[in-house]
Amino acid sequence: MTHRIRVVGLCGGIGAGKSTVATLLAERGATVIDVDAIGRQVLADDDVHAAVVAEFGNGVLDADGAVDRKALAIEVFASEGRLADLEAISHPAINRELDRHLTQLADPTESAGTLLVILDMAVLVESDLGRLPNGRGYREVVVVEADLEIRLARLVDRGMTVEDASARMAAQADDAKRRAVADHVVVNNGDEVELAAEVDRLFQQLTSDPVTSGARPVPDRCTPGD
Ligand code: ADP
């Protein structure tokens, strides 16, 4: 029997409900890779750690010498272009790790049939994250959307200040940009029951319909091993 993996990028503006959709898809049998968690892990890699210190200084380290993500976030959101500086360091490392995960999942001795793999990632349209050579990265995209005021209310409910939530939204791509790359859109303006029904439909499509888009162009600069 052949073992194939169908890799889907899942993104959405902060507060839209991306993580909730990822959880609902996992409950239905998808394998979810938390790309943002990999992003946190790679900060501990020696080469990433050294490059972050060289770029942002010792002020972003905690008392133990580890990267303090809060201090780093303050630096990154303080001025234009600093997020790109961080991503130039972290994204190649995240893609390498992602490639390793996907290669393991594609192991033909693991299981048979098609495995649905969801890359849960806040940043998708803005960068090369999750686009890997040789068709191993995502080949289609799910976008979770919700109205701005609903997203803000959810984030404030989650304990974020309006200022912090607004700054993070401003640093992300807008809905139009996300929609432009979407193969599937989940609108999450309703309650959790409505969302679950939407995710049922989505899961059905992702496990039965053919892949909706072809291979995405792979920019040279995200080649693992860079
Ligand atoms: P994201 O990952 O896109 O930032 P989350 O999935 O973490 O967003 O959702 C943000 C907050 O909104 C969470 O506290 C979540 O439980 C809540 N939430 C998400 N979707 C709904 C919904 N349809 N109804 C009510 N609360 C929701």
pLDDT value, residue 3: 61
Q: pLDDT band for 216, please (50, 70, 90 cuts).
A: low
Contact criterion met (CB below 8 Å) for 40 and 121: no
Q: pLDDT tens for residues 145-158?
A: 999 999 999 999 99
CA angle centred on 142, ends 137 and 147, rounded to 5°: 140
CA separation, residue 8 to residues 46, 78, 128, 131, 134 (Å): 30, 32, 14, 11, 15
Q: pLDDT tens for residues 5-42?
A: 899 999 999 999 999 999 999 999 999 999 999 999 99
> At a CB cut-off of 8 Å and minimum separation 6, what does 100 contact?
none
Weakest mean pLDDT among 13-22, 133-142, 206-215: 206-215
Task: State the residue for tokens 């191993």.
Answer: 136
User: Cβ of 170: how many Cβ atoms within 10 Å?
Assistant: 9
CA 176/CA 190 separation, integer angstroms: 20
pLDDT value, residue 211: 74
Weakest mean pLDDT among 5-9, 112-116, 144-148, 179-183: 112-116
Task: State the residue for tokens 């959810």.
Answer: 154
pLDDT value, residue 80: 87
φ, ψ at 62 (rounded to 5°) = -90, -175
- pTM of this prediction? 0.86
pLDDT value, residue 110: 57
Phi-psi region of 140 (alpha: psi -120 to 50; beta: other; left: phi over 0): beta
CA 121/CA 123 separation, integer angstroms: 5
Q: Given ligand 1 and candidates 14, 20, 119, 185, which is best to mutate, with the most ligand atoms within 8 Å of its CB? A: 20
Higher pLDDT among residues 169 and 109, named by residue: 169
* Domains, the chain: 4-40+95-208 (3.40.50.300)
CA 96/CA 190 separation, integer angstroms: 37
Contact criterion met (CB below 8 Å) for 120 and 33: yes
Q: Say what angle helices 82-105 and 69-78 make with each other, to 10 degrees.
A: 130
What is the whole-number distance in angstroms between the Cα of residue 3 and the centre of ligand 1?
33
Higher pLDDT among residues 192 and 136, named by residue: 192
pLDDT value, residue 118: 97
What is the whole-number distance in angstroms between the Cα of residue 111 and the centre of ligand 1?
33
Residues with C-beta less than 6 Å from any ligand 1 atom: 12, 14-20, 154, 158, 188, 190-192, 195
What is the whole-number distance in angstroms between the Cα of residue 174 and the centre of ligand 1?
18
